[in-house]
Amino acid sequence: MYHCVFIIFSLLLPSLETTIANQLVVVGGGDDNLVINKCLDKEIHALLHFKALLKDPNGILSTWKDDEHNCCKWLGVTCNNQTGHVTGLDIGLCSLEGEISHSLANLTYLNHLDLSSNSFHGTIPRSIGSLTELRFLSLSNNSLYGTIPPEFGNLTNLQWLYLGFVGRCRVENPEWLSGLSYLEELVMNGISLAKANHWVDVILSLRKLNFLSLLSCELSQVMYPYSSSFLNSSSSIEVLGLVNNNLTSSMYRWLFPLTSNKLHELYLSRNMLHGIPNYLGNLCSLKTFFFMNNSVVVKFPDFLKNLSGCTSLALQSLDASYSQFTESLSDDIQKFSSLNILSLSHNHLNGTISGKLWELPKLKVLDVSFNYLRGAISENIGKSKAIIINLSKNSIEGVASTDHMSNLSHIEYAGISSCKLGPNFPKWIQTFKNLTRLDISNNGISDTIPLGFWDMWPSKLTHLNLSSNNISGQVPDLSSNFDYRSVIDLSSNRFYGPIPNVSSTLVSLNLSRNKFSGEISLLCQIVGGLLQFLDLSDNFLTGQLPDCLWHFKDLKVLNLGNNYLSGMLPTSLGYLVQLEALYLFNNDFSGELSLSLKNCTKLNFLDLGANKFFGNVPVWIGESLSGLYALILRSNHFFGTIPLQLCQLQKLQILDLSMNHLHGSIPSCLNNLTSMVQDGFSQVENVHHHLSWSIDIFSFDAAYVDHAMIMWQGAEREFIRNLGLLKCIDLSSNNLTGKIPYELTDLYELFALNLSKNNILGEIPSQIGLMKKLLALDLSRNNLSGGIPSSMTQMTFLGYLDVSCNNLSGKIPSSTQLQSFEPSRYNGNTGLCGPPLNKKCPGDEKPEVPRVIGRSEGDGEGVDEVERWFYIGGGTGFVTGFWITCGALLLNRQGRYAFFQFYDSFKDWVYAKVVVLIANLQKVVHK
C-alpha cells in the first residue's frame, strides 16, 4: 500500500504539472473571454505546423483549424489577455503521436509547455532551448531518443523541468544544468547519466532546487560523480530519489553534500547498499525513508543504530521491505517515537519482537510479515497504538490469556496469517473492537468459532479471512455483519450446514473446500450486483443452478465445481457479461449447452468437464469466445465432429475434449492455435492478469488462481497455480478416425498430446520430432501403422511415451530417451523390435569372429611359428638399430644437431597430418 509512494508520485507528475499549469494561467491572466488581441499569424502557423506532423486518434486538436484565427480558443492553448501572445501549451495525456516540430520555436512568449504522456518520437528539438520565457517544461513519458539538448541551458527562467522517462535519452555533459539558477524541481527518471561526470557538483550549484528524482539513471556507471571542491557544499533539496541505480555503499561519499537538515524524504530503494552511514542519523527533518529491495545483507540492529540520532525523532515512515535484513528487531526501535508507518516485510529478521515496538506512541501501520520472528503476541500487541498490524508468515504464537491486553479499540487491520496461533481459536481477537479487516488464515486452528464472534463487528468488517484452518461448526446469517464492497474467505475448513445468507454488497465470497450442503437458492437473494468472485466448489451442494443470475453483471469468477448440482444450465448465465472463468466440473449437469453462454464473450477459462452434457460441441464457442485460453469438456456425452471453428481460438493453450463420443478426423487447422505455436509463454501475462484474480488490501489477499483436472502421464492430476504455463491437447477416448494431420507437428510449444483410445490409422507424422518441448505423448490403442519416426530421437524432454496397442513395426530408433521407457509402452505392436523390447531386429545377431589361420586349436596358448620368428626378428632389429643410432649421435656433434632438427620437423609434419585425418573422419561420421 505504501511501498511505491515515490514511484507513484513520479508517475502522477503529469497531473501535478497540469495543476501547476492552471496556477500559472491564473497568475498570467489566461481568461479567454478577456483576450483583446487575436493570435499573431506567426504563432497560428507555428501551432498548425506542429499539429500537421501528428496523429490525433481522439481528435483532441480538432479545434485547431485554419479558419479559426483566434488560437486562444483552441484546446490546450493559453494566451496573454493583453497582447494575445501564446503563453501556454498544455496537451499532456492526449494520445498524440509523431515528431515534435521545430515550429514551436516561433512561440517566443511561451512560459508553459507540457507535452507529457503522449507518444512523441524522434529526437528532442534543440530549438526548444530558444524558448527563454519558459518556466515550466515537461516532456515526460514519451518515446524520444538521443542526447538531451545542451541548449536547454538557455532556459534560465525554468522553475520546473520534468524529463522523466522521455524515452531512450542520455545526458553526456550536465554542465548545461548550471545555468538554470531558478530551478526548483528536476525529474530525469530513466535518462542515462552514465557519462555525466561531476553531476553532483552541478546539482549543488542549483541553490533553489528542492525536488530531485533520478530513478533508473545508471548512476553506478559514472566514473567521477563529484569533485573534491564540492564536498563541503550543502544543498536545499527536500525530496531526493535515487531509486534503481545499482548503487553500492561507495555512493555515500557523494550523497553527503546532497543531504542536509532540509531533507524531508529520501528514497534509496532497489540498490545494493551495505547498510547506511552514521550521517543519515543526523538529518533532523527527515520524515520518510525508503530502503526497499536492497540486495545486500544488512544487520538490522546496526541499521537502526546508525539512524538513531535526531533522525529517529523526526522519522514518520520507514519502509525497508523486500530487502536482506538479518538479526532481530532490537530495542533501539523505541527511539523512533514519531514513527507512523514501519514496514519490514519479506526480510530475514529472526529472534523475538522487541516489546519496545508495541510502545511506540504514534505507530499506525506495522508490517513485519514474511520473516522468521517469534514470540507471543497477545502479551504485547495490546500495548501498541497501531491500527494496521500484519505479522503474517512468522513463527509467532498466540496465547489465550487476555490478562495483559489493554484497550485494543484502535486496531482496524490485523493480518496475522501463518503465525501458529492454533489449535484453539484465539479469543483475544474479540478485544479488537474496531476491526475492519481480519486475516487469521493458515494458523492450524482446530476449533469452533466462539460464541459472539460473528456479532463483534456489525456492519464494520470489509475483509474476513479464516481460510486454510480446520475450523468446524455452522456459519450463521452474515447479511448484516459486513460493510460495503466486502470480502469473505472461509475456504478450506470443516464448516457444514446450509450456505449462510450474506450481504448483497459483497465483492467476493469463497466458501470452497468445506462441507456445506443443501441448495444454492441464496444466489437469488444477492441482488446488489457488486459480486465479482463466487467460489462454492468442493462441498456437498445439491439441486439446480437457479435461473436468477441476471443480478451478477459484474461477476468475473464463478466456481461451482465438485458438488452434486444437476439439471440444465439456466439461460440467465448469458447475463454474466463480465465473466472470465466458469468452473462447473464434476457435477451432474445435463442437457445441451445453453446458447446464452455465447454472450459471455470475456470468458478465458471454461471447464465443464465430468458432467452429463450432450449434443454437438457448439460452433459458437470458436466464434464468440475468442479469448479462451482453456476449454475443458472432458468426460461428457458430446457427439458429432470436432468443429473447425475451434481453430479460431488463437489464445487457446488447453484443449480437452477427451472421453466423449466424438467421431470424424482431427482438424488439420489446429496449427492455427497460435499460443501453441509461438515461442515462449505468450499467454502467461494475460492469464495472470485475468485469472489470478485477487483483492489486495494491504497484503490481505483473497487470491484466486485457476486450476483444473488434467490427464497427465496416464493419471488424472489437479494443476494449481502453474496451469497458465501448460499447453496441451487431449482428444483421447473418442471415436476419432483418419490420420494424424501432419500440421499438428507445427505446434512446437505443445507440452502434452494425448490421442489414445481412438480409431486413428496411418503413420505417425515423420516430422513429429519437431515438437521438441513435448513432455508427454500418448498415441496408444489406435490403428497406427508404419515405423516410429527417427525424428523422435530429437525429443529430449519427453518424460512419458505410450504407443502400445497399435500396428507399428520396425526398429525402435536408438536414443537415450526412447530406450528409457518401460517395454509395456511399446507392447501390442507385433512388428516392433529393438531395445527396450527383448525382440531383436533382423541383422542384429552378432556375426561369428573368423578363426585366425595357423593358430593352434588346443588351449589357446600356442603361437604360429611365423609370428614367433616375426617377434624375435623385430626385437633383434630394434635393439641393433637403436644402439647404432644412439652411438652415432653420441660421438658426432654435427650429426646429433642434424638429427634433432629433423626430428622436430618430422614431429610437426606428423601432428599436422593427424589433425587433418581426424577432421576428415569427423565429417564422414556426421554424414
What confidence tens digit (pLDDT) does each residue in 166-206 have?
999 999 999 999 999 999 999 999 999 999 999 999 999 99
Which comes out higher in pLDDT, residue 729 or 715?
A: 729
Closest CA relative to residue 135, chosen from 111, 115, 116: 111
Q: What's the Cα-to-Cα distance from 66 to each of 46, 47, 356, 724, rounded to whole Å? A: 12, 10, 72, 54
Residue 721 has a pLDDT of 56
Residue 824 has a pLDDT of 94
Closest CA relative to residue 217, chosen from 255, 244, 239: 244
Round to whole Å and give the CA distance between 533 and 543: 21
- Please check whether residue 80 is in contact with residue 29, taking contact to mean a CB–CB distance below 8 angstroms: yes
Q: Which residue has the cell 479462451?
A: 628
Average per-residue pLDDT for the chain: 83
Q: Give the pLDDT band of residue 417 (cuts 50, 70, 90).
A: confident
Q: Give the pLDDT band of residue 230 (cuts 50, 70, 90).
A: low
- Please check whether residue 441 is in contact with residue 420, taking contact to mean a CB–CB distance below 8 angstroms: no
> How do beta strands 540-544 and 564-567 pair?
parallel
Q: Which backbone phi and psi does 227 adopt, to 5 degrees?
A: -115, 150
- DSSP H helices, 37-170, are 41-52
- Please check whether residue 24 is in contact with residue 88, taking contact to mean a CB–CB distance below 8 angstroms: yes
| Size of the chain in residues | 927
In angstroms and rounded to an integer, the radius of gyration of the C-alpha atoms of the chain is: 38
- Specify the amino acid at residue 191: I
Closest CA relative to residue 293, chosen from 265, 319, 321: 321
Per-residue pLDDT tens for 56-96? 999 999 999 887 778 999 999 999 988 889 999 999 999 99
Q: Which residue has the cell 455483519?
A: 481
CB atoms within 10 A of CB 634: 26
Round to whole Å and give the CA distance between 552 and 577: 9
Round to whole Å and give the CA distance between 756 and 754: 6
Q: Give the pLDDT band of residue 774 (cuts 50, 70, 90).
A: very high
Residue 471 has pLDDT above 90, yes or no: yes
Q: Give the pLDDT band of residue 27 (cuts 50, 70, 90).
A: very low
Residue 393 has a pLDDT of 82
Closest CA relative to residue 617, chosen from 596, 583, 646: 646
Residue 28 has pLDDT above 90, yes or no: no
Give the three cell numbers for residue 639. Answer: 457427439
Residue 853 has a pLDDT of 42
